[in-house]
Each structure stands twice: as C-alpha cells, then as structure tokens.
Structure 1
Amino acid sequence: MKILGSALFGGAMALAAAGGALANDEKPKYGGSVEIGTVYVTLSALSWDAQDFNWKHNHDTGLVYEQLFAADLSKSVKAGGKHPFIADAWLPSDAIRGELAESWEWKENPLRIEIKLRKGIMWPDKPGVMKSREFVADDVLFAYTRLDESPRKIKGYFDHIAKAHAPDKHTVVFEFKDYFAEWDYRFGYGYFSGIYPKEVVEAGASNWKNVNGTGPYMLTDFVSGNSNVYSKNEGYWDKDKIGGQDYKLPFIDKITYRTIKDEATFITALRTGKLDILESIRWQNVESLKKSAPQLKWNRWLNMSGTFLAFRVDVDSPLKDVRVRRALNMAVNKDEIVKAYYNGNAELFAYPMHPDYVGYFQPLKEMPASVQELFKYDPAKAKKLLAEAGYAKGFTFKTQVCSCSADHMDLLPLVAAYLEQVGVKMEIQPMEYGAFLSAMTSRTLSVGYMMNNGHTNPTTTIRKSFTTGQQWNPSGWSDPKYDAKMDEVYRTKDEATRIKMLREMTIEILDLAPYIWLPTPYIYTAWWPWVRNYAGELRSGAVRPGPIYARMWLDQELKKKMGY
C-alpha cells in the first residue's frame, strides 16, 4: 500500500485555482490539433526501444504503447479528487486503474499476482510491420522477458520475480521470490513497462517508423531535434465518462511534441499561441507572460527532480573525505539561492524525499542538527573542516553540466563563486545532453557532476541514487550495509515500517553528503483556455503524459474567436 495523503504541497491548490474544472453542461469536442512543449521541451527522443532502458521512453511512446496500469484520472484534483498527478513515477494505490489489465489479484503458495487482461483490444494494422491482430498475454510476456534479458538492464530490477507465465491468452501470472514493495511500479506503470508486439522488434524496435501499439495515437512522424507527431488511432478501445456519458477516446486528431532547445524561443511560442501548452516554465518568465498573454491558465508545482552537485566518491580526490563534502555544503549560501536566485520560488529542502510523499518526508526542522547544518551558510566552519582534511589552501576540481538546462547553466557559476570564497575552485564543462548522459552511464563523468534527478517514488528515490552499481548513482556511492537496508525495505509488507526505515536511510545519506544538496525550484505550467479537460496534470505513470493528452479536447471556436 502506498499513500499520498494530502500530496498537494502546492499542486492541488494550484490545480483547483487553475480553472480546470468543466462546466456541468460542457460536452467534449472532437478534432483539431495541439502543439505541446512538454516538461522535456529541450530534449529530443533518445530511443524508441524499451530494451535500451531509456528513462524517456514512456514520455515519447506513451500515446502509442500502453501499460498494464495507469493513473485513474477520475481521481484528479480537476475531477474533484485529491491527486495532482505531477509525480514523475508514483501512482498512489488508490489512484491506479487497469489499462491493459482488467483486474489483478494476489495469491499464495506460491506468492504470485494474477492479472486478467482486457479482451478484444487490437494491435492496429501497420504496413511493413504487422497485420492487425488481438492483444494477448504472450505480448505481455514478450515485452517483459525482452526487458529482463536486456544487456542494459538496471541492476536487480526484476530480481524479485521468480517466473512469469500465461495460463491462458488473457491471463498473466508473475510469481515472486519474496514480497516486493514496488511490484506495481516495476512491471506495471514504470519507466520501461510499455507493452509492444514481437512484430515491432522483428521490424526494428529502435526505428520510430516501426512503433505500433494499442494506444490512442499512432506515431506518424519524428524529426530529431524538432518534433514527434502523433495521429489519432481510429480503432482505439477505451472510453472516458464525462458528465455521466461515455465518450470514445481520443478527442484530438493530432498531437505534436515540439523540441525547442532555446528558452526564449519556446516562451515566445507559447505567448504567440504557436504552442497550446508549455509544461515547464521557470519563474523568471511568469510575470511577463501573465502581462503579455493574460488569458493563459496556470499551475505551479514543486519540481519532482532534486537539484544537486554530485561528488564522485569512487575515485581518488579530496571529495572522498566526508569533511570536504560537508564543508562544501556549508560554503554555499542556500538560503540566499532561494531568496535571490529563485526569488522565493524554491524550497530549501525537498530532496531526496519530496514533500508530496506524505509520511515519508520529514521537514528540515525535524532533522538532526548534523543534517540541518548542511543547509546553513557557514564559510568559517567550511574552512575549518577543509583545513582538518588537509586542504587549507583549497583545491581545484572539474564539474560537468548539461547545456540543455538553462537553470543549471545559470546556477552553477553561482555555486562556484561560493566555493571560491573558501579556496575551492571549480572548472565548469558544459556538455550537450547526449554526451552528458553518456558520461554518467559509462562512468566517465568528472569528479563533479551537476544534475537534477527525478524523485521517482519514495523507495526508488533512495535505491537508484545511493545503492551499489545503480545507473542513476552519479557519486558512485557504495556501502554493503546500506544496500542490505534497501533490500529489507523492499521485502517489508507493512508500509508504516517501511516509512520508518526509509526515514532513517534518508537521514544517513544526507549526513554523508555525497552531493551539495541544493534548493528545489517551483515550476509553472501554462496553457491556452481553448485546451479543455486539462488542468496542468503531467504524468499518469512514469514520465508518461499520454493518457492525459488522450482525454483533452480542443475548443476550436474559442481559439478562432481569440484570434489564433
């Protein structure tokens, strides 16, 4: 059982204020096209093949490839529920619906989950790839097995599963070695959980032209660095209940994700109506947009990615010494970053646990003094610790940063200036996203590595960043005792016990300071009022907006009246 509780740290109230609720007599409209600058507006699709274990795969394929589970969007704040659906990869247990799964049930001896699949769902006809046929259990097993056998598989990702099999064409059974707390996320709605047919692999799964799924849209064009174009799947199976009436999905004929690397350009595109939705807007641009385009609708949300400067501890450098890492945390005036750099649009402490993870998250004021001091500006103590570690005269280290992030490109020189005041010099190396990501995954990254990383969910936020051999562990942190604690968390059925364990692990890693822990900014989403049945929701599974977009519609008459 997972909880979200009030999970609406800023999201729900902002959503409610966004005017997303529909008038009682409003009926959906079909047709039209929508242009979207998504949360990842600066990043092109990285890979079309789930077997590559590409974190962005769901984002780009999630209108085409469906999954066993998805968000129950009828529980959204917009619909009168309590969930903002902002989290990058967490669906609370009371907000999960079956997508390709119709129902599921836990059974004992052996410990297993039996999943009944929906009947009558069809793979579309795709010339050169496949003839239309029914979606069946073997398709689920094929996608799961291929993922499990991937040479790029995340360490331990499916180790909890003993066996997967299909007793009949509409039933899939996953047998477990032990109870596993993230079972639904791992194979049900996770980053790599899209279900695709063997015919796509036979044709070439990495080629976008072969992508073919059971979802509401078909991928009909892709230009790297420019756009992904999705056209309506006329044979899509699902419906949505609106105003007590069922409507066939999707409503919009064509959805285009625009890739725009330059911030000024995508802000201008929103202001001039060339983008209908822009999901990620820095606070610096909000007031000018509100003045120049006052009709825009807004949602403000606390970033679901933590910002930090990671220190490699798996190579010889001064940063292997915890005194040095703690000193560099104290050397950075984080309160000033919140007030002056973010103009108050950030939280001093919101990582590695996110405030939306109610119960799991502990405010800074509840943390031990040793953790609290890492967030207080104390250059005198920083110099003292550096001297104790043998670096009274300081040292120099290199930090890589992605040029794709305007925020990081602006923030890192500010961090460097703070460090220079205690004698530590930082060489900054900007990199294009592909090279930046490759540096980490191939372990060729520099001693310093400026990034943000998705919180994901309350367990994975710790596992992926701080346990041995994980792909998203930029510091190279490795401690067998810590790894063992993580394993125990996953095997623990009782959520209250898991919460206690994860709180202790969070305090432990904060104290050891493998990163400079930096503030977490608020982000804004804006959209034009002709986009209906939308209130800034971002994800209905791991980085997957597809089901959200499938339920939007376009008021083309309003758009025309407004002069666009």
Structure 2
Amino acid sequence: MKTFSSCLHAGALAAAIAVAPAAALAQGKPQYGGELRLGTVYVGISALSWDPADYNWKINHDAGAEYEVLWAGDLSKSVKNGGKHRFVADAWLPSDAIRGELAESWKWTDPLTLEIKLRKGVMYPEKPGVMKSREFVADDVVYAVERQQKSPKKIPEYLDHIAKVTAKDKHTVVFNFKHYNAEWDYRWGWGYYSAIVPKEVVEAGASNWKNVNGTGPFLLQDFQAGNSNTYVKNPIYWDKEKIGGQEYKLPFVDKVTYRTIKDEATRYSLLRTGKLDILEVIRASEVEDLKKQAPQLKWSRTLAMAGTYMAMRVDTKPFDDIRVRQAMNMAVDRQAIIKSIYSGHAEVFGFPMHPDYVGYFEPLSAMPKAVQDLFTYNPTKAKQLLAEAGYPNGFTFKVQYNSVNGTHADLVQMLAAYYDKIGVKLEIQPMEYPAFLSAMTTRTNAPLYLMDNGHTNPTTSIRKNFVKGQVWNPSQWDDPAFERRMNEVLAERDEGKRQIALKVMTREILEKAPYVWLPTPYNHVAWWPWVKNYDGELRAGAVRPWPIYSRIWIDQEMKKKMGK
C-alpha cells in the first residue's frame, strides 16, 4: 500500500473536489437551511482551547469550523459513496483517500523539498474588530507554521524536520526539510496542529473565542463553556459538492450546535426526543433500549479509535519491575469486562495498533506466547509474579480517572475488585477532565492512570505512547534503544519497511507492559433519518468533522412529518 508521502513523491496525487456519486442521490435532492444539533464524540468535554499554538488535541474539533488545513479526507471515497473507508479514525487518513483542502496541488521538487500550490480566491470573511475580509495567501501558511514551531507548548521535536517554510509567490508555499520524516503530512498538513490561523486573529488574541476567524464552512457565533458551541454558515465559503452532475455550494445547513452534556441519561433523552439530530457516542449497554424507544433511529457501529488502558509509571516502584507490570495484566479478566461493562461490544485486543491499520496490525493470535499470556486471566500466576518481585502481600497505590467518562467509573471499580484478589489495593481518584489531562501533560499523574487514548495513526501510536518526553506517555516509558528504532522508522520512506519495524516494536512494547492493556470497545452512533448525506462518519482528518458536517443536509419536510 502506498503512503500519502510516497504518492506525493511520485507526483501521483492531485487534489480534487470530493464528488458524491449516486449513493447521495438516493437520499434526495440536497436542501439548504435548518440547524444540525450534535452530541459529538466528545459530548462531555467543553472546548479546551481556541488557539492551535496551545497544542491542545481538541482544537480541530471546536475551531476546525473556521480554521482549515492543507489536506483533508476525500469523502467521495467513503463507504456511503461507494468507497471503502468509514472515516472514523481519530487521525488516520489512508493514502488513497486524501484531497487538497487549502492546497490545490503539490509535488516534491527534490527528496527534501515540497512545493504546494494553494487555492486561489479563498477568502477570509470580515470579523469586526479583528480583520477585514481578504484573500488567503501563501504568507498565511508560512506565518501559521512558524508560529507553531515557536510555541513554548509544542510537542518536543514535533516540527524539527522542517528547515524553513517560504512563500515562493502569492499562492505557492515551499517546505524545505532538514531530513525526511514519515509523519510530515500528519504533523503539519492535516493533523492535530495543522490549522492555518491568520496573523490578525493572533494579534487580536487567538485564545479568545470571539476572535476566531478562518476560511472554513462555519463561523463561531457563540460559546458557552460547559453548555454549547454555536456556529453559523460562512456565506463566502469556497468549497462545493458535486451531486448527480450538479454542483452545490457548501455548507447546506445554516447553523450547527454542539451540545456539551456530561450526564449520559440527558444525552439519551435529548436524542430520543429529537432534540439532538446525531449522537456520536453511545454506551453499548444503552443501544438496545434506545432502539426500542426510538426505532426510527439509524445506527453505525465501529471499533473505537481509542485504546483503553491503565498506565503504570515505570519511574515509580514497584512498576519499574516488569514482573509487577505483567502481574497487573494477568490479574484482569478481560472477557468478563467485555460482558459486564460493554455488553459484549468490545474486543480483547485492539491497541496500540488498530485492526483498521492494514499492513501494520497483527491479531493477538499471531503474537508471541509471552504477549498472549498477558491477555489471559491468571490471578494465580499474577500473585506468583508479585511474590517473585518482592511483594507477596501486594501494595496500595492511587489511580486517577476522568470522572466525565461513565464507563471508566464502572471499569475502575471492576479493576479494583480484581486487584484486591492479588493483594493490590487501589485508591480511586476521579478528576474533572481539564485537571485529569493536566496531570498527564505536566507529568504529575498518579502511579496508576486510567484513560482512553486515540490510536492516531500507525506510526504516531507507538511514538507518542512510548518515547521519552512525549506528552501522551503517562507511564513515562524511557528506553533509548526503542527511541532510536522509532527515529529510524520516521526516517524510512518505504512504507513496507516501516510496517515490519513497527510490528516488531509493537510486539516488544506489549510484552514489556507499561500499560494494563484493556479491551477496546465498539463505538455506536445514532442519527434521525432526516439527517441526509451521512452514514456515521466521524472525522476527515485529526479530530476534524467539519468536512462531514458541511456536506450534511436536513430533510425539513420529513422532520416535520415525524413531529420533531
């Protein structure tokens, strides 16, 4: 399978406006107007930042309506439109399903120089007190990338492969590399921290939501922390969608509202009564009841693109001992967790590689016995390993978890019961999400830290979880040899060779067990049938749903007939 980068190197990819074939026509002629009301994947978490230079993972989810990027997912390749991709990954765009967003075309002029032609005529809308309406130009890309490079909050070494970014002319940007990095397109082209923020917004104050302004399909109208984000149509948005031979200006809906709803029961009530058009995250145990209570809902189920685990700080005794970490894994009955917590809707093994990552993923059955043993419930062996490590009577440690996550509240209690059987006592500390996240990012998290973490993509999943100094490394894993091999992977242009190396590294880290590897659940999405041109897609880039939302329309007549 070719990578995006190898295709670009060959000059084989060209950007194209997504074309939706007959599948979209089956949903009727597109309609303009109305409001799309959403309980998103992150329905319990309010916006954490409005400034991409804060390097906050959620920025594209909240500010991506305004801030566009160079590349995005090509939704014409979705399953709904006759393609093979579901577009649910948190930050994985297959190489055959990438289109230019603000980039129009691109080519490698030599192995370390990438030249990008930008779309002409893309406009920033006027924002009173912030900026006049003007054209998006190459200097905007240069400014945005250099600002990310200089941010004191940036991920260590994240953009260090870039030597310089220059504007060759008004609509051409040139990236010169110091060295090749296999994640280049993800890191600054369509990833978490790739937003093109104009200088005027920064000068007005990029952290203030009232100043947010970009070239995207919607404009942020209102933000009420802990309650809602409200967006309205950008009347001068550039993109179009071709359906049935006819071109339609995007977006279709006039308004998009994100609701922030921490209480699960409230989310389900709003969905049942039609006050939410889409709810993107539904606990498995609630699915059957919702299907009975609202039988007209449409559904999608995909294996979650986030792994669930309990990190063990290897810089803290006794978790510096591999025998203790392996014991902590063997003490857990994953099949019972799947049955009890997930109502059967989960897989024992789905992290740190995701089964969707074809060529990178190996099933548990293909793993060495030492790895398979960690996923086998064996409290007797766990107690034996603890005794060998010098802890025959167990120990007591604090575990932190995100209190917004109702599933984790149940899961941590179940884990505590398992560990009690081998003499390990958990002191359970629920935390509000901002404080919970801050504990990890400042490396002050407890010795045990229960969390979900997006796989991101095949390379990043291994790098960000298990390389020293990375933000998403709550175990504080530090192995210089492992890090050297990671750097070799990032320098490798051949995807086949990267796949082999990452398979070996995945096996190794699974056996060394810095995490208690927990089941990966299935994610359920439900929506009302008046939501058209939608089939459960979640992201067309790194936590970036806006290309999807801009293509949705509401069948107003159907909604009226259904009494909603």
Shift of 1:164: 1.0
Distance 1:63 1:455 in 2: 23
2:47 matched to 1:77?
Answer: no
Could you tell me which residue of structure 1 aligns to residue 58 of structure 2? 56
Could you tell me which residue of structure 2 aligns to residue 35 of structure 1? 37
Shift of 1:26: 2.0
- Amino acid of the structure 2 residue aligned with 1:91: L
- Amino acid of the structure 2 residue aligned with 1:157: Y
- Amino acid of the structure 1 residue aligned with 2:322: V
Could you tell me which residue of structure 2 aligns to residue 176 of structure 1? 177
Could you tell me which residue of structure 1 aligns to residue 520 of structure 2? 520
Distance 1:344 1:256 in 2: 32
Shift of 1:154: 0.3
Measured on the aligned residues, the alpha-carbon RMSD in Å equals 1.1
Shift of 1:313: 1.0
Distance 1:418 1:505 in 2: 29
- Amino acid of the structure 2 residue aligned with 1:174: F
Distance 2:218 2:318 in 1: 52
Could you tell me which residue of structure 2 aligns to residue 44 of structure 1? 46
SS in structure 2 at match of 1:456: coil
Contact kept, 8 Å, 2:27 with 2:532, in 1: the verdict is: no
* 1:491-532 deviation digits (Å, cap 9, x = unpaired): 111111100000000011001000100000011000000010
490 and 25 in structure 1: CA distance in 2 versus 1, 3 angstrom threshold: closer
Could you tell me which residue of structure 2 aligns to residue 201 of structure 1? 202
Shift of 1:62: 1.1
Could you tell me which residue of structure 1 aligns to residue 399 of structure 2? 399
Contact kept, 8 Å, 2:27 with 2:533, in 1: the verdict is: no
- Amino acid of the structure 2 residue aligned with 1:279: E
Distance 2:45 2:202 in 1: 25
Contact kept, 8 Å, 1:467 with 1:473, in 2: the verdict is: yes
TM alignment of 1:91-130, pairs within 5 A: 91-108=93-110, 111-130=112-131
Distance 2:228 2:343 in 1: 33
- Amino acid of the structure 2 residue aligned with 1:492: E
4+ long deviations beyond 6 Å? none
Shift of 1:150: 0.4
- Amino acid of the structure 2 residue aligned with 1:513: A
Could you tell me which residue of structure 1 aligns to residue 509 of structure 2? 509
* 1:126-176 deviation digits (Å, cap 9, x = unpaired): 100000111000000111010010001001101111111111110111111
Could you tell me which residue of structure 2 aligns to residue 458 of structure 1? 458
Could you tell me which residue of structure 2 aligns to residue 11 of structure 1? none
Shift of 1:107: 1.8
- Amino acid of the structure 2 residue aligned with 1:388: E
* 1:44-88 deviation digits (Å, cap 9, x = unpaired): 000000000000000001111110000100000000000100000
Contact kept, 8 Å, 1:465 with 1:472, in 2: the verdict is: yes
498 and 263 in structure 1: CA distance in 2 versus 1, 3 angstrom threshold: same
Bigger mean CA offset, 331-340 vs 464-473: 331-340
2:214 matched to 1:213?
Answer: yes
Identity value in percent: 66
Contact kept, 8 Å, 1:203 with 1:210, in 2: the verdict is: yes
- Amino acid of the structure 1 residue aligned with 2:65: L
Distance 1:297 1:484 in 2: 47
Distance 2:560 2:136 in 1: 40
Could you tell me which residue of structure 2 aligns to residue 233 of structure 1? 234
SS in structure 1 at match of 2:338: helix
Distance 2:411 2:339 in 1: 13
SS in structure 2 at match of 1:206: coil
Distance 1:119 1:34 in 2: 30
SS in structure 1 at match of 2:319: helix
Distance 1:97 1:47 in 2: 27
Contact kept, 8 Å, 2:187 with 2:194, in 1: the verdict is: yes
Shift of 1:25: 7.8
SS in structure 2 at match of 1:125: coil
2:173 matched to 1:167?
Answer: no
Could you tell me which residue of structure 2 aligns to residue 498 of structure 1? 498
Could you tell me which residue of structure 2 aligns to residue 381 of structure 1? 381
Aligned residues: 546
Distance 2:532 2:339 in 1: 35
Could you tell me which residue of structure 2 aligns to residue 322 of structure 1? 322
Contact kept, 8 Å, 1:191 with 1:542, in 2: the verdict is: yes
Could you tell me which residue of structure 2 aligns to residue 313 of structure 1? 314
Distance 1:170 1:22 in 2: 33
Distance 2:274 2:341 in 1: 29
Structure 1 stretches of 5 or more lacking a match?
Answer: 4-19
- Amino acid of the structure 2 residue aligned with 1:131: K
Contact kept, 8 Å, 2:334 with 2:518, in 1: the verdict is: yes
Contact kept, 8 Å, 1:24 with 1:243, in 2: the verdict is: no
Could you tell me which residue of structure 2 aligns to residue 10 of structure 1? none
Could you tell me which residue of structure 2 aligns to residue 6 of structure 1? none
Shift of 1:343: 2.2
Shift of 1:339: 2.7
Contact kept, 8 Å, 2:166 with 2:175, in 1: the verdict is: yes
Shift of 1:24: 4.3
SS in structure 1 at match of 2:557: helix
Contact kept, 8 Å, 1:335 with 1:376, in 2: the verdict is: no
Distance 1:2 1:344 in 2: 35
* 1:272-327 deviation digits (Å, cap 9, x = unpaired): 10100000001111111101101101000111000000001123x21111100001
- Amino acid of the structure 1 residue aligned with 2:170: K
TM alignment of 1:278-427, pairs within 5 A: 278-315=279-316, 317-427=317-427
SS in structure 2 at match of 1:320: coil
* 1:353-408 deviation digits (Å, cap 9, x = unpaired): 00000110000000000000000011111111000000001100100011010110
Contact kept, 8 Å, 2:24 with 2:243, in 1: the verdict is: no
Contact kept, 8 Å, 1:25 with 1:243, in 2: the verdict is: no
Could you tell me which residue of structure 2 aligns to residue 191 of structure 1? 192
Shift of 1:463: 0.3
- Amino acid of the structure 1 residue aligned with 2:535: A
Distance 1:180 1:443 in 2: 27
Could you tell me which residue of structure 2 aligns to residue 152 of structure 1? 153
Bigger mean CA offset, 235-244 vs 365-374: 235-244
SS in structure 2 at match of 1:486: helix
Distance 1:325 1:464 in 2: 20
SS in structure 1 at match of 2:80: coil
SS in structure 1 at match of 2:231: strand
Distance 2:448 2:327 in 1: 15
Shift of 1:2: 3.0
Could you tell me which residue of structure 1 aligns to residue 480 of structure 2? 480
Distance 1:442 1:400 in 2: 14
SS in structure 2 at match of 1:459: helix
SS in structure 1 at match of 2:437: helix
Contact kept, 8 Å, 2:399 with 2:448, in 1: the verdict is: yes
Distance 2:445 2:483 in 1: 23
- Amino acid of the structure 2 residue aligned with 1:346: A
